[in-house]
Structure 1
Amino acid sequence: MRLPLIFALLLLAAPAIAENRALIIANSNYRLGDDVAAAAQSLSARAALETAGFQVMAAADIGAVSSRGMMAQFLARQAPGDRLVILLAGHFARSEGESWFLGTDALRPDLATVGGFGLALGDVLEIAATAPGGAVLLLGTEAVALPLGRGLVPGIGALAIPQGVTVVQGDAAAIATFATQILPLPGQSLKAKLSVRSDLLAQGFLSDLVPFLPLAPGAATGPAPDPFAADRAFWEATQALATPEAYDAYVARYPGGLYAAEAKAVAARIRAEPGRIARLAEEALALSRDQRREVQRQLALLGYDPNGIDGLFGRGTRTALTAWQRANAFEANGYLTIAQINEMSAQAAVRAAALEAEARDRQAEQDQADRLYWNQTGAAGDELGLRAYLRRYPDGLFADLAKERLATFDAARAANAAAADRAEWARAEAAGTHDAYLGYLAAMPQGSFADTARERIAAIEAASAGESTRAEAEAREQALGLPPLALSLIEARLGMLGLEPGAADGTFTDETRRAIRRFQQARGLTVTGYLDQDTVAQLLAGVGN
């Protein structure tokens, strides 16, 4: 219902002394529905407004009749030239054309009865309009429920704001903070006051030319002190910690602070993170990069591809770890615990022992076949047999011996060859290219070095055909990002296996590449002579963590 005509008569009877006046109604505890907890904070604005020179009327948790009575008294005391602040905090309801501030006695109001349960904001705005340019209506609420009947929905609808009236809406805690800490500051326009509160919705009259409250006569001018200096400092500390507990502490200290809404949202987002507790537990383990590499190596050894052994737990490692957890009846969240690390290490040790046994058996079979073929070909010492052996076993047990013996044949040919033949061969060997050896064959098709030239051509063509494969293998090795210490460990491991990799100095030579090829062949891995994830996982299986 509309405010009675008596209110206007009371206004005419009131003494005409210009003052600053404020009305605060803070409804927190409702008979039905959820409480608006932060509404009570609006009462803290009373002392601040009184200090700023306002005559303040304030009440908490009152019904509709009492609300209308207070509004009547407030209106009756108003005089021309007064500045007005009206702060209403609690539940609101709206229809198509009007909005109401509800008393605490609201019992499921509907469109027909809501006038008996609250103040129509249209009436409140008409009262504010009697002080154009000096009236502020503050409306604070929370996203909590109150039972409403037909024709009403919660909240504040579109308002027909009279000229010269400023309306500010927002969270009840934020409204209380604004009314307590910012609105009473003299020498600032409403627009300037509101510029620091992006979480509040301001509508209506917003001049930046006229201060809402003038400075007292003789007061010093200059930049106004920042009323939110402590708020901002606490927020910076909160962001540095970036934990939900820190954001909770900020909201507890500054429930209507500049960043209260953001703090609540961030804390909720952090707590909603899937696997957050598991992630924090893994972070508490403080695993070093080498320890993370060991986990990745063990995952690869057990058949779970971590997409690299680089000590960085990316998506590939998390996916592999989740699959291993699921297969072993752990919570499949992709984060490690001490129990899981111990279990994985034990499984990897068993798997490594099994692979070593398989490799020994396979190596024994390969060595037996190698020796048998050597006895059938190169052992006799003839050139054809030696070359046949090297074609099949370029990295074989007797490869170095075969090369040494072939060198004597080459030296004998060189000694016996005609001068022209030796000269052509010297030129071909000096160039060492495919075309150079072809040129020798063209010049000396029956020359003493024809067979050697053909073998060199075949070797160059094979190497050329495998160049792209070699480049890919080299790129995979580089992508592992292994430090020099790991490379030295690998060389030492190859040496322990009797594969003769050369010095364990972290620098891979031709001897190292041959040793890697021998290792890969014995383990049934892809033979490239370059490290990959599976090769590293098995090579380091016998080395301590």
Structure 2
Amino acid sequence: MNWRVKLLWLVLCALIVPFTTGNAPAEGNGKRLALVIGMSNYVLAGTLPNASRDAEAFNTFLKDQGFETNLVLNADRRGLAGALSNFSRKIGPDDTALFYYAGHGMQLRGENFLVGTDARLESEFDVPAETMPLSEIMNALEQRAKISLIFLDACRNNPLADRLNRDVAGTSRGGATRGLAPIETQGAGTLVAFAAAPGQVAADGTDGHSPFTRALIANLSGPGIEIGTAFKRVIREVRSATGGKQSPQILSSLDLEFYLDGSATLEAPRPLKVDNVDIAALDFNKAMRVDTARTWKRFIAKHGESSYADAARQSIQRLGKSDDFRSSLAAMAQEQKMLDSKDKRAAAQQALQSKGFDTGATDGAFGGQTRRAVTAFQAARGLKQSGFLDQETGASLGLTFARIDQDILSATSARRYDATDLEGLEDEPVIAMVRCLSPLPLTYGTFARHLYAAVYDGQQVGWQEAKAIVERCGGHLATIDSSDENTFVASLVNTDDRFFSSSFEGGEHRRVGPWLGLSNENGSAEGWRWTTGAAVTFGRWFRRPPEKAGAATLYAAYRANKVPLAAYVDTWEARDPSRPVSGFIAEFE
């Protein structure tokens, strides 16, 4: 069975280990072959003192495990290609093939490359001639060997990639970086272990070896230790050795137990299958494509005992570190949701006072002194210094109401979803909504058993058009009946500034957001009604309920004036229907 493993991580600080396995004994009578490469002496990228020493040590380690090894040090691009060619010709269909690389790596426009020592990379056109594509290495092993293992300790700083990055347009997506682009594997089982988490730089080491390779050698060699257990020990050791600055991560889809020393190979419990289809593998593949914390947690709830569960948990950790929930804008959204009353804000001020951080008054009004106290507290606790009482800050203060279930949100920014990727991992109303609203980007969540979607339209959309789109899908533009509901709905859009247009008019900044299901046909203050026909029992107007005698129909959208261009917006304002906005809020009962 072929399946795609897609990784959207931008930091190459990585170790990749693909396996091709089945339910039969993993090794049988095949050979155990290894190609070990260490690259220390680069012409222009400087010296990596420990890369060659790591390769030599790992080569010795593999010999002790019964591998027939070939050690190559400081190869230029041609030497690297020649070594790979010779190695691939030795591999038979029953063999275990292992490739280890310590040196520089990079990606360019979605492809991953290992860098030869002679690389100069003066322009992106030099990359094919001076590097080796990782995909070619993986394909060569997977097509020939029964089990393919590729170890990359290629996470040290790469000045060539940094220089090339300055000359390539669109570096945030297609430029030359030390990160990995999405990869593919044709193996039925895969274990992917990363030397460091995304955003971290793995240490080269100060005592002759990198912490990661040292931990591999120390923990993979024990007799009878299954490789998944061994890598957990690797993670703990590297974290300890680096004071938590470097944390390896593992992605595994192995459907059997594997022992590097060859002492035992046991079948794992068979996964749930329907008509011989591995449901966990199918759902795992879908979750990889969706790649949100909500989806991964739903996968674990369904397949928590499968061999994929550890990989899913590590994906949640990865997303937690890179998620935009830690941005200042998201912190504002969290504060608004968490501190939704004057009493709660006053309690937060009192908590800061009790910790020795002066807020001035404890009246529930967050002025400049309170913001400075929050920032100082965050700095003292090593938290993100946003100046806003986000969930993490609130929990550190011991606030009992500082627990926000962020899982209700699909993601922090609107994105396109494929409904088929949500099948088996989401509730049917979500799948139906996504299918109907496709291909518009959206973010969704639930409140009081109602499903809400903030839908982004980069082409701008009028109120009547938005109303027609939602009603065609069986819903209506959002109606808001309480402060809690308004806070929730606002949280759907305030972590994605694409929902807001900003301008400077009449001496003040203005931010206008998506449409709500509120209209006024006669322009009077009493003329406002929800699209469902319900009366307006709650209001969050920016000023007062707007009126315009004799005017054409007005519609409500999120808006605020006299605010910073990145301000949190949860107030409403009337808007002329001839002026479209960048999205709308849909509600499904």
Whether these two folds match at TM > 0.5 is: no
Normalization by structure 1: what TM-score?
0.34
* The structure with more helix, counted as a fraction of residues: 1
Asked which structure has the greater CA Rg, the reply is 1
Higher relative contact order (CA 8 A, sep 6+): 2
* The structure with more strand, counted as a fraction of residues: 2
